[in-house]
Amino acid sequence: MSTELDPTQETSRSDDLVAAFRAHFGDDPILVSVGPGRVNLIGEHTDYNGGFVLPIALKRDVRMAVRPRQDRRVRLLSVEYNAAFDFDLDNLVNNPSAQWANYVMGVAWALAERGIALVGMDVAISGNVPRASGLSSSAAIEVAAAMAFLEAAGQTGALTGPEIALVAQRAENAFVGVNCGIMDQFISVLGSENHALLIDCRSLDYRLVPFPENAGLVIGNTKASRSLAGSAYNERRAQCEEGVRLLQAALPEITQLRDVSVEQLEANKQLLSPTVYRRCRHIVHENQRVLDTVAALEQGDLARVGQLMDASHASLRDDYEVSSPALDAMVNAMRSAPNCLGARLTGAGFGGCAIALVPAGGEQSVADAIFERYPKTTNIWPEVYTTRAAGGARVEKIGA
């Protein structure tokens, strides 16, 4: 089982990255910036409906060892890809052949758009957030890059945490070309040890929610293709917008499904086709499940949190129809363990990861159940990670 990193492993990762920087650039970095990945406890597909989400930052991250330069060049080394890429801060153009570098260039572009005066730098990059798994490796590299650029330029106080998150999102939306919401970047910047983060995706208000010390999380990576996720995402988004348009005949004050209560939806369901009604039912109930989960966490009621996670998965499977045989097999394997309090898919769906809530110390039994049951159902060997709620982005000064 792949487990969370202990402090000695944390130090070793940074030391290895510094050594890779030295070997490639022939000098020492002055800082390491860190952007964590994330997993969403509950609140799926609510973000683009103006609703609520409840993610945590992972103890898995992207790190950048950095040394400022005297010119406008940025020289990148990717340790995992064993690839190098250079660009000029005065000529930022998306390069389809170096997608990993586009995330860094995009952040430079978005920061410059904000009027931040940047300097060139040498950067070695390494990450242990699994790619293409729904754990937001893209936000992790964006946030690490933003922290690196700001620190190298002596601009650390120029932007607030939410502004850094918005810069990272802008980079992904407008430069990389991926229409993501704000959740991933927000939690990567603003996460806090032993806390989840409740985010209002309309107002961008947020608050930390204590995550009980007697709880643990197990993440199961299905390793299954997510090829349907893009087209299904666009289709679901359009169906939600159609639901709002139709419901406005009876509820003219609403602008998003966030504005619709459970009672209002049920009273006006005749305005909707069966499919659009199911899509709306997921969003309206999922928003309420997020708020109910926050209340349960604050009361330390882990059994209730588990029930809400189970209900979320059923809704995503049956009403929103974004689960898959692999995700259902993963969730069923998790739930077969006696220590599992609840489990659900996390992320856009059709593949990627599921998350299980367990009492602290019960992680191994869920991992064992996954490795025992999931491959027999899918003929796919999964990956399993354990985590607790980790801290957000940070900068480590070398030698400090």
For the stretch 150-173, pLDDT in tens is 999 999 999 999 999 999 999 999
pLDDT at 294 > cutoff 80? yes
The pLDDT-based confidence of 5 (bands split at 50, 70, 90) is very low
Please report, for the chain, the start and end positions of each structural domain, with discontinuous segments joined by +.
7-210+390-397, 216-387
CA distance 332 to 330: 5
CATH class of segment(s) 216-387: alpha beta
Beta-ladder partners of 210: 195
Let me know: does 196 contact 211? Beta carbons within 8 Å. yes
Residue 180: predicted pLDDT: 80
pLDDT at 35 > cutoff 90? yes
The pLDDT-based confidence of 206 (bands split at 50, 70, 90) is very high
pLDDT at 4 > cutoff 70? no
Strand-pair category, 206-210 with 394-397: unpaired
Residue 8: predicted pLDDT: 39
CA distances to 3, 29, 210 from 74, in Å? 34, 14, 39
Q: Where are the beta strands (DSSP E) in the chain?
A: 31-42, 52-68, 73-78, 83-88, 121-127, 195-200, 206-210, 215-221, 342-346, 353-359, 383-387, 394-397
Where b means 16+ CB within 10 Å and e means fewer, 153-169 reads: bebeeebeebebbbbbb
Catalytic residues: 184
pLDDT at 47 > cutoff 50? yes
Residue 67: predicted pLDDT: 98
Strand-pair category, 195-200 with 206-210: antiparallel
pLDDT at 3 > cutoff 60? no
Mean pLDDT over 348-356 rounds to 92
Q: Which of 180, 173, 177, 204 is nearest to 190 (CA)?
A: 204
Mean pLDDT over 373-398 rounds to 95
What's the chain's average pLDDT?
A: 93
CATH class of segment(s) 7-210+390-397: alpha beta
CA distance 167 to 188: 13
Residue 81, class by beta-carbon neighbours within 10 Å (0-12 exposed, 13-18 middle, 19+ buried)?
middle
For the stretch 57-74, pLDDT in tens is 998 999 999 999 999 999
Mean pLDDT over 134-158 rounds to 94
**Percent of the chain at pLDDT above 70?**
96
Residue 6: predicted pLDDT: 41
Sequence-distant (≥ 6) Cβ neighbours of residue 106 within 8 angstroms: 92, 94, 142, 171, 172, 174, 175, 176
For the stretch 212-247, pLDDT in tens is 989 999 999 999 876 666 678 889 999 999 999 999
Q: Which of 11, 56, 64, 71 is nearest to 33 (CA)?
A: 64
**Does pTM top 0.85 for this prediction?**
yes
Residue 231: predicted pLDDT: 75
The pLDDT-based confidence of 328 (bands split at 50, 70, 90) is very high
Mean pLDDT over 262-279 rounds to 98
For the stretch 85-117, pLDDT in tens is 999 999 999 999 999 999 999 999 999 999 999
Mean pLDDT over 40-67 rounds to 96
Phi, psi for 142 (deg, rounded to 5):
-65, -45
